[in-house]
A and B are shown apart, each in its own frame.
Chain A
């Protein structure tokens, strides 16, 4: 089962970077309408998330300010007004129960989602590349050891361990940072395995051999010769990891072991939305829709990046490629 498709190293890799120049990749990516649309959606979301404090000022709403006057306390805290209490002040209405502004809270939630997803991915890539390179280039025994650790990391149920780990961390530790660390440290096995396999196959190629014969040390070869050739597969994997990590953050927050209130997060909103199905459907649909669209956009963009970097590979999202990812 755990057979990895390393893929043959492109013959062009000897003379030019494996995936073509950055400009070529960019052009290929732009030719895919789905990738462009996904990138546009994500760019908008990132802008909105960055501008969250600005919007908070513009609408005059603090994400954590309660508005008891905007919810109907006689009916258990249902927002007054239609569609969850939409008004000029509250663009997407207010949260049932607390009356906090939903629009601003969603934007602040986007910051958490993006921050944790990107941060965790960066950490995974860093650890994975370091472990993979060391396993492939280091001493034989060290290599076997790291390979074994990698296999164990891949075999373990990641979400379960992440949940369990949140139990033993002091409660005052900043939660977003904790999530980045937990996800990053638990889930680098895939990257390490990929980098190790790629490095092993690259190592025997002429250009690496030539660099070695010219008297370059292992570190220098790793940095100057191997890393540029590893960029394409690693970027591809990272692009696929971002939406996965975002889902893990949302899941942990949904389960109540991720981001703690009052810090807003989409998963946590969805968790508290469960009691408002009929009374305030907007409170369920808005965070759910945002999370769905964001994850979908990242997935489509990741697939676009993958095909742009390796045009011979078909789209992973089309059926029948036979190389499905299991989540």
Chain B
């Protein structure tokens, strides 16, 4: 088990290192001069040269990359010109070209909104998705099963923003059950926080629910067909107890594992939902950064999201291994 954990974590670290190198190379070696971008539109060549010196863009690429890594792991200092030294703390991702703030600080500000969105969606798919899946596994051929087929068909591949747009249109514009959502931080007003996030949660959670319903259903059915369940049944354990006490246990491992992956992906990947509902999270930061070509912000978001996804993948595998020892032995 320890060996498995170490190997899995080592692989995750390697992927992260590869990601950072690729992202760094792509963004700082691409056409378009970072110094010019950092300096702004109205810079003369001298100023650009000065910025280039300050950002260390005259050094060789490997040196620049190593310094970038050093910044992430231990922090680094930038010379601000005229003997001024700007210090950038440990996970240092540089300074935004737009407002000279530390990228790490910007991202930390945006994290709660993204986290709020992902958390609600997680609750929805765990309750609705897993509930529906269990129900349709127990009552095969019933109404839930047919409903599930239809929803699954519609949800396979449909872009999430179509559902979001239609919900906004129906609930906010026509029925007027809710005002158009504006994000309210949890700390300010928990009730308003929830009401304003309701539609984004439903949008994001709905499609995921279909996936989880199918997953729960198939893994429950698989477990119900196993030998030990047959033995229990032969000993006279009731159907209800079989499902609630025994089959669920087998069904839960893949659900937990996939939830970890999806939750990690959502920490970064809910760009569309955030953008549609105006939630000031990581995804929206990415889009805003891309619009004004704010490279440190873009690189920072990509690395943060990549880290979230890779960690989630590793956690999922570990959880799976805990739930099912055979994985670790393979």
* A250 and B31 in contact, given A1-B320, A255-B272 (Cβ under 8 angstroms): no
B154 partner residues in chain A, CB cutoff 8 A: 296
* A160 and B301 in contact, given A255-B271, A281-B169 (Cβ under 8 angstroms): yes
Main secondary structure of the interface of A (DSSP, over half): helix
User: B153-165 CB contact bits vs A (8 Å, 1 = yes)?
Assistant: 1101111011001
> A167: CB under 8 A from chain B?
yes
* A167 and B298 in contact, given A151-B15, A250-B159, A299-B156 (Cβ under 8 angstroms): yes
Q: Do residues A270 and B287 form an inter-chain contact, with CB atoms below 8 A?
A: no
Chain B interface size, as a band, is 35 or more
B174 partner residues in chain A, CB cutoff 8 A: 277-278
Complex formed: what's the CA distance from A255 to B14 in Å? 31
Q: Do residues A270 and B162 form an inter-chain contact, with CB atoms below 8 A?
A: yes
Complex formed: what's the CA distance from A300 to B217 in Å? 22
Q: Do residues B305 and A320 form an inter-chain contact, with CB atoms below 8 A?
A: no
Q: Do residues A254 and B161 form an inter-chain contact, with CB atoms below 8 A?
A: yes
Closest to A324 in B: B214
* A168 and B32 in contact, given A160-B286, A163-B271 (Cβ under 8 angstroms): yes
Within 8 A of B (CB), among A271-288: 273-274, 277-278, 281, 284, 288
Complex formed: what's the CA distance from A295 to B258 in Å? 25
Q: Do residues B148 and A319 form an inter-chain contact, with CB atoms below 8 A?
A: yes
> B64: CB under 8 A from chain A?
no
Q: Do residues A255 and B287 form an inter-chain contact, with CB atoms below 8 A?
A: yes
Complex formed: what's the CA distance from A317 to B150 in Å? 9
B219 to chain A, nearest CB (A): 7
7 contacts between A and B (CB under 8 A): A157-B305, A164-B298, A166-B290, A247-B159, A257-B291, A274-B276, A299-B156
Residues of B within 8 A of A (CB): 14-15, 18-19, 23, 26-27, 30-32, 136, 145, 148-149, 152-154, 156-159, 161-162, 165-166, 168-169, 172-174, 211, 213-215, 217-219, 221-222, 257-258, 261-262, 265, 268-269, 271-272, 275-276, 283, 286-287, 289-291, 293, 295, 298-299, 301-302, 305-306, 309-310, 313, 316-317, 320
Q: A163-B290, A274-B168, A319-B145 are in contact. List 4 more A-B contacts (CB 8 A).
A: A157-B268, A168-B295, A284-B166, A288-B166
Residues of A within 8 A of B (CB): 1, 148, 151-152, 155-157, 159-161, 163-170, 243-244, 247, 250-251, 254-257, 267, 270, 273-274, 277-278, 281, 284, 288, 291-292, 295-296, 298-300, 317-322, 324-327
